[in-house]
Structures are given as C-alpha cells and as structure tokens.
A and B are shown apart, each in its own frame.
Chain A
C-alpha cells in the first residue's frame, strides 16, 4: 500500500530564516504531488503541483518555492520567511489522470516569530 510522510510535524522559525519541508511517498511510481497551505479558519490553498521530476507549477505568487529532485520526493522551500508564511502545510499525492483522489500527509504546523 501507499504511504506519505511529511516532516517535521511542527516547526518554529524566526522571520527571515530559511525553510525546508520535505515530503516522500512510498508504494507508487510517478505520482502527482501537491503542496497546500491551510491558514487558521480558512480553507486549503494549493501552492504547487508536480506531474514529474523537475516539473513544478505554481498556483499563486509567493515567497515559497518547490522542487522535486526524485520521483517520490517533494520539497517546499523559502530563502527568507515572512510572518504571513505561518500556517499548516500539507503535502498530498495522487495517481495520474483525471478524477483521482488526493491522499494527504499529516502536515507541518509552521509558526513564524
């Protein structure tokens, strides 16, 4: 069966510091991968998606970037964090093709001080 791992579970960072969140998927090949942010009291916002190694699409302009160095690895990064980057970050994967459900990791709670 497929599993998705996200780490760390919680992170407290000062403003202006860099960020690296990692997500890996096991048990499947060539998945679609996604990064979402969920701000307090708000819905899910899609940040990035990837349909293959090195292929990243950004949904919203922001202070963050994403990379996919390996087939089942997805990394969310920032060079300098802003206060507004605080939130709950979720990684997800899906099989390729339309109408496939996405399967989510347990998320990273990011607090910026």
Chain B
C-alpha cells in the first residue's frame, strides 16, 4: 500500500525567503507523486507531478520538487516566497493497485507568509 507523510503541519516564512515543505512517501513500487495547493474556500490546484521521468520537477508559480528514492522523499521548494503563496499544500501519491487512479493525500501543510 502507498502512503504519504507531510512532516510539518504549519510553516511560517517571511516574504522573499525560501520555502521548504517536506514530504515522505511509502510505496512498494516506483510511485507517481503530486503536489497540490489549496487557497481558502477554493479547490485544489495541481502544482507539479513526478511520474518517473526527471527527478527534479518544475511546477507552476516557481515551485519545484525533487524525487529522492534513497530517502523516499518528495520535498517542495520555492526560492522566494510571495504573499500569494499563503495557502495549504498537499503531497499526494498515486495508488498502483487501482486502475482508476486512487490518490492518497497527505494531511496538508499550512503555509503562512509574513511581510
């Protein structure tokens, strides 16, 4: 079975400083992994996805994530936080046992950006 753990429930950063959101996964096979962002009272927006191609994945809004198989990690980073990055972020792994694509969501990391 696949699972994902987001190591921080809350992260606070100053505007203009780097953002690091940590995610570890558990999978018996090479997983597909995603990061989503959710702004208040909005749906989830796909930031980026890893599907066994390049291990460094670039996404929208300046975010990127690196797949590290040896560490079973898929951490999300951004060099310089913007006020609009304040939101909740979800790390997600795709199930390999369901043909229809069940996703396992992490518990989420709430990001606060201070001026």
Contacts of A44 in B (CB 8 A): 44, 90, 105
Of residues 96 through 111 on chain B, the ones whose CB sits less than 8 Å from some CB of chain A are 96, 98-103, 105-108
Dominant secondary structure of chain B at its interface with chain A: loop
Is A102 a contact of B100 with CB atoms below 8 Å?
Answer: no
Contacts of B94 in A (CB 8 A): 98-100
A96 and B100 in contact, given A90-B44, A101-B34, A104-B43 (Cβ under 8 angstroms) = yes
B32 is an interface residue with CB less than 8 A from chain A: yes
- The residue in chain B whose Cβ has the minimal distance to the Cβ of A59 is B102
Minimal beta-carbon separation of B88 from chain A (angstroms): 10
Residue from A44, A99, A101, A103 having most chain B Cβ neighbours under 10 A: A99
Is B103 a contact of A104 with CB atoms below 8 Å?
Answer: no
Of A49, A94, A100, A104, the residue contacting B45 (CB under 8 A) is A104
The 4 A-B pairs with the shortest beta carbon distances in the complex, nearest first, are: A104-B43, A99-B32, A104-B44, A99-B94
